[in-house]
Structure 1
Amino acid sequence: MKKMTRGQLAKKTGLTPAAIRFYEDSGVLPQPERSESGYRLYGEEYLTLIQFIQDTKALGYPLSRIGDTLRKLSDGREMDVEGLRELVRRQIQDIERQEAHLAEVKFHLHRLLNEYDDEDVRGYLQTFRRDPEK
């Protein structure tokens, strides 16, 4: 398995080297092995780990929860097949809740565009102004 430097891993994942270092320092990513000269060397498995981090961050999970989950997955003793399936079920439920919320927001935005006249929209805009008289 070919090893990558932090810069190479950053290029492949779209993260910055600083973001990768942050994930390591915060315990979300495991510390990589080091070369004899002290360079950090990352295996291909880090691509999967970072993709998982990016996907779960996009769902709104805090880094602490992401790190806990990755540690359970890597430990193997705390996460069995059924445990992983339950984790995936919960993630699907979270996605479905987010989809329902986004559908509601989209519905209200469509109403704003299509059902309200200009005067109603001006009134709505006034609610955001610091000086409502202007």
Structure 2
Amino acid sequence: MNIGEAAAAAGVSAKMIRHYEQIGLLPEAERSESGYRLYGDREVSVLRFVRQSRHLGFSVAQIAELIGLWSDSQRTSREVKAVAQRHLADLEEKRREIDQMMDGLSVLVNACHGDDQPHCAILEKLSLGSSAQHQPQHKPQLKKTLAKAEASGAGTSSHIDLMAWIRGVRVHHGTH
């Protein structure tokens, strides 16, 4: 089958198939004489496996590990369970972090009157420890590449990484 047929059969996009090939989750497809990618039932099975793993939030590295275990007839279920347990522990930690962020943000939102006055308890709390004389005198103008990285979830802060993870889970639930 061609890439479109394989994508439909697996429930993923053709773009994702090319991406999975590029990063090594799926071996490069055989090609027809005219250069079109060709897929069989085995590749569709792997793509379904990847899709279902992504729905559970497994990382690409974890999915690669799981595919390796799936392909190894000498594996033990203990090895597979260990991968899933590590992922579950990571998710539980992320949930704790999200709960902490939500609790902190709720306090800020509840402290703000949200009226027509310039005083804002949210800004006051966020700038705690900064003097009013060091208040910024400009509105930031993000560089396009930085703004795109932020929008896609890239960044170095753990909070930004956490938000990228949240967006990733939503995207995977919604599009694959």
For normalisation by structure 1, the TM-score amounts to 0.67
Which residue does the alignment assign to 2:141? none
Which residue does the alignment assign to 1:54? 54
Q: Tell me the alpha carbon deviations over residues 26-46 of structure 1, each in whole angstroms, 9 at most, x when there is no partner.
A: 211244566798641242513
Q: Give, in whole Å, the separation in 1 of the partners of 2:23 and 2:51.
A: 17
Structure 2: unaligned runs, 5 residues or longer: 114-118, 129-134, 139-176
Against the structure 1 CA distance between its residues 29 and 49, is the aligned structure 2 distance closer, same or farther, given a 3 Å change threshold?
farther
> How far apart are residue 124 of structure 1 and its match?
5.2
Q: Does the 8 Å contact 1:112/1:121 carry over to 2?
A: yes
Which residue does the alignment assign to 1:119? 120
Q: Give, in whole Å, the separation in 1 of the partners of 2:6 and 2:108.
A: 44
Q: Does the 8 Å contact 1:33/1:42 carry over to 2?
A: no
CA RMSD of aligned residues (A): 3.2
Q: Give, in whole Å, the separation in 2 of the partners of 1:106 and 1:97.
A: 14
Deviating runs (4+, > 4 A) in structure 1? 31-39, 124-127
> How far apart are residue 96 of structure 1 and its match?
0.8
Which residue does the alignment assign to 1:80? 76
State the identity as a percent. Answer: 22
Structure 1: unaligned runs, 5 residues or longer: none
> How far apart are residue 93 of structure 1 and its match?
0.8
Q: Give, in whole Å, the separation in 2 of the partners of 1:34 and 1:53.
A: 27
Against the structure 1 CA distance between its residues 103 and 124, is the aligned structure 2 distance closer, same or farther, given a 3 Å change threshold?
same
